[in-house]
Amino acid sequence: MDVKLQTAPSGASWGTIGNPGSLLRGVEKLIKQAGAEAIAVVARFPDDIDSQALQDYRHGSGVDHLAGAEAIISHLIVRHFQIPAAHAPALAAIPVDPDLSPRAAAEELGYTFLPCVLVGLARAPQFVTKYEANPHLIWGSEIDAVVIPETACGGSAVLSLSNSKTAIITVQENITQMQVTPETLGIKSIRVNSYLEALGVLVARRAGISITALHPSLSSLHCLS
């Protein structure tokens, strides 16, 4: 597919696909001839064993250099065919690193990561494009809140939900390599220090309690005229 990898100034990885037509034709054939309800893609990715980005990622201090291009492949299929899709890159084996970060350890066990993709897709919900009054369906307008790292607010789902009544809760302690804060995007958010605090915000919202009433400092009483 002629995949090219890039990194944005924000810290996000991204990429391009030189030949998306072959991918879309293959997916269309699987849907029409085999009745596929979900698509798993394994594509050959560029090998760059000596790159600094790969070393940083393996040592727990960098972003996944492949993830941006992977997302483009999956999103292209989902947007075009409106069925669940996920991607796993095919890579050449790399030498074992004794200083490998625990965060990257699972990815050292295989070279396509296909098993986890298949497990996820086996449980993936199907897309519904027309409104139905069904208690088992979840619509965007029904999402009360999302919890995300404070510096990783650039995802399409977050951007879309930020224009709705959904509360965006950002967690400061989850430090990432991204530099996309709510302020840079003009997103109104509820800032918390930890995921435990985020859980408290969710519980308070569900109980109908204003979180401002739970702070140690309250505003002064005002005389009613």
User: Residue 33: what pLDDT?
Assistant: 95
Looking only at the bridges linking them, the beta strands covering 39-44 and 13-17 are unpaired
User: What Cα–Cα distance (Å) separates residue 184 from each residue in 16, 144, 153, 160, 224?
Assistant: 25, 23, 9, 16, 39
d(CA 148, CA 10): 17
The pTM of the full predicted model, rounded to 2 decimals, is: 0.69
User: Residue 48: what pLDDT?
Assistant: 73
pLDDT averaged per 10 residues, the chain (length 225): 75 79 93 94 79 79 79 90 89 81 76 82 84 79 93 90 94 88 93 95 92 74 69
User: Residue 69: what pLDDT?
Assistant: 83
User: Residue 25: what pLDDT?
Assistant: 94
User: Residue 110: what pLDDT?
Assistant: 66
